[in-house]
Amino acid sequence: MKLVRYGRPGKEKPGMVDADGVLRDLSGVVADIGPEQLSPRGLARLAKLKADRLPAVRGRPRMGVPFSGATKFVAIGLNYSDHAAETGNPVPKEPVVFHKTLSSMQGATDEIMLPKGSVKTDWEVELGIVIGTRARHVTRKAALDHVAGYVVVNDVSEREWQMEHGPTWDKGKGFDTFGPVGPWLVTRDEVPNPQRLSMWLDVNGEPRQRGSTRTMVFDCATLIACVSRLMTLNPGDIITTGTPPGVGTGMKPPQFLKPGDVVSLGIEGLGEQRSPVVKFRL
């Protein structure tokens, strides 16, 4: 299933994209796509629906974050060896774990707003894991059983604040609009192997990132097991898993986002994002 939340910010309705790509309204069945719907029982209930009998949604509404109820937005750094190399860092021996703010989360076509005075805002296409079953000290073998589905994430990063204002990466990762997610959540049953997904990112139509989840240093199961030892993962929580090479800070000379740019990105089978970049505003 492809699950969505569509409509104006703060007024999103639950929906489903059917096999023909038609957006269907789920508001007559469930109130939201939240922790209850992301549970195995909730997903099983939605899977029984006849999508073609649900009301079709007219037009092309905005797609919001495709699920609600997150308590954590966990991120993994330097999880592709070639990306570590382009940034001048060694390949980690253990996952590099940091946090993005929940307030950074937004829809797949919403504007990315540059922080005040920013000249080093960068892009990162990433695979996001959405938790469906509470995970606490889970084994690697059982880790994927706790997944509701997968999403596209852009881990937008302000490199000056990330690298030049002390050792805490979170400073450059949690600005407003720095976490586009979606456009939809693809349930686990439709992604039999999350380690075989191609991924890409362009800026203004020019290729920047090309990669595959095959080259992760730590795979999805390992990351879930590791993070679940550090904190309890609840239904609706998200882990974004690192980025392949091609980020702006690794270019020669480095290139960063500016107002008027458009960032397009996608992951095989998980949909595409298209985010305009705008200057800071209160």
Question: 3-class SS at 230?
Answer: helix
Q: Is residue 66 part of a domain?
A: no
**The pair of three-digit structure tokens given for residue 92, joined into one six-digit string:** 């980690």
Range of the domain at 13: 2-53
| Whether residues 28 and 87 fall in one domain | no
For residues 46 and 126, membership in a common domain is answered with: no
Please tell me whether residues 44 and 117 are part of one structural domain.
Answer: no
Q: Do 15 and 125 lie in a common domain?
A: no
Say if 130 falls within a structural domain: yes
Q: Are residues 214 and 262 in the same domain?
A: yes
Mind listing the pLDDT tens digit for each residue in 56-82? 999 999 999 999 999 999 999 999 988
Question: Do residue 78 and residue 46 come from a single domain?
Answer: no
Q: How many domains does the chain have?
A: 2
Angle at alpha carbon of residue 196, lines to 193 and 198, rounded to 5°: 135
Distance CA 239, CA 268 (A): 18
Residue 79 domain-assigned (yes or no): yes
Same domain, yes or no, for 103 and 143?
Answer: yes
Q: Is residue 63 part of a domain?
A: no
Cβ partners under 8 Å of residue 136, min gap 6: 228, 232, 233
Among 63-77, 85-99, 127-141, name the one with the lowest average pLDDT. Answer: 85-99
Per-residue pLDDT tens over the stretch 24-34: 999 999 999 99
Instruction: Specify whether 84 is located in the same domain as 46.
Output: no
167 and 207 both lie in a single domain: yes
| Residue 87 pLDDT exceeds 90 | no
